[in-house]
A and B are shown apart, each in its own frame.
Chain A
Amino acid sequence: MMSDEMMEDGGPVKKFLYMNRKAPYGTVYALESLEVVLIGAAFEQDVSLVFADDGLYQIAKGQDTAGIEMKNFSPTYRALEMYDVEQLYVEKESLEARGLTAEDFVVEVEVKTAEEIRDLMEEQDVVLSF
């Protein structure tokens, strides 16, 4: 499925969805996924990020990694806006299961139910899972 919309230089614009389901620090997936999103932003595609399951913990407020000597990359999510990556969604069921609310995150997110995410996923051209 190719979107009809074209980039200014004539290249195709596709709908990319990043499905983030892994917690940060315990494994590298969250960090390296964010690196893909940042590089991908330069391609001016239509990008959405979904945080579901433990992926919600990637954007939790209050992360302090000094004690584990790893880079705290949570502030980087706040930079996504500058790259026009503004469609950030959190799955409601995962949010509630973890006792979190939309105020617990370092970025503004839209809470969507699993049912709404079903529809969002079906609209995509590319789904990248991490």
Chain B
Amino acid sequence: MKFSIQVNEGPYTHQASDSAFKFASAALEKGHEIFRIFFYHDGVNNATRLTTPPQDDRHIVNRWSDLADKHGVDLVVCVAAAQRRGIADADESKRNGKDADNLAPGFRISGLGQLIEAGIQADRLVVFGD
């Protein structure tokens, strides 16, 4: 079955991104397909590669990047939500005249239409948030 997942909260404050990751991993393990994981609201903070948790803690951002790397999962960060919260890839950064970018590997920035499409294309959309 084809799943899409929406993540609405940032890492380390709310359990939503942990729950979403565990769910996605379990779904892949069972042989399901993850069509897309869409990061919205503060969920866009899952995508900054500057995240540096203590060594004995889980690395939520790297965990997502690994998921994209190993399973080809499409990790999409909402552009409008990302701009508000200072998450940018190199192109976005340049376009907005910023001096740095911080998007972690495996993520891409795109529009809200990607969320609607995720709802249309997948058999189920599961939302994790606050």
Contacts and interface: CB of A to CB of B under 8 A. Distances in A.
Does chain A touch chain B in the assembled complex, meaning CB atoms less than 8 Å apart? yes
Interface residues of B, number: 17
B36 to A, nearest CB: 13
Given A128-B125, A129-B127, A129-B129, A36 B120 contact: no
| 6 smallest beta-carbon distances between A and B, as pairs | A126-B119, A39-B112, A40-B116, A43-B116, A129-B127, A126-B125
B40 interface: yes
A128 B111 contact: no
A39 B116 contact: yes
A128 B120 contact: no
A42 B127 CA distance: 22
Specify the main secondary structure of chain A where it touches its partner: mixed
A87 to B, nearest CB: 17
Interface of B: 6, 8, 40-41, 80-81, 111-113, 115-117, 119-120, 125, 127, 129
8 contacts: A16-B119, A28-B41, A32-B40, A39-B113, A125-B119, A126-B125, A127-B127, A130-B8
Nearest to A7: B120
A6 B125 CA distance: 20
Contact of B80 (A11, A35, A42, A45): A35
A14 interface: yes
Given A32-B81, A128-B125, A42 B113 contact: yes
Interface string A9-35: 001101010000000000011001001
Contacts of A36: 40, 112, 115-116
Interface string A45-78: 1000000000000000000000000000000000
Contacts of B8: 29, 130
B112 A14 contact: no
Contacts of B40: 32, 36
A128 B6 contact: yes
Contacts of A11: 120
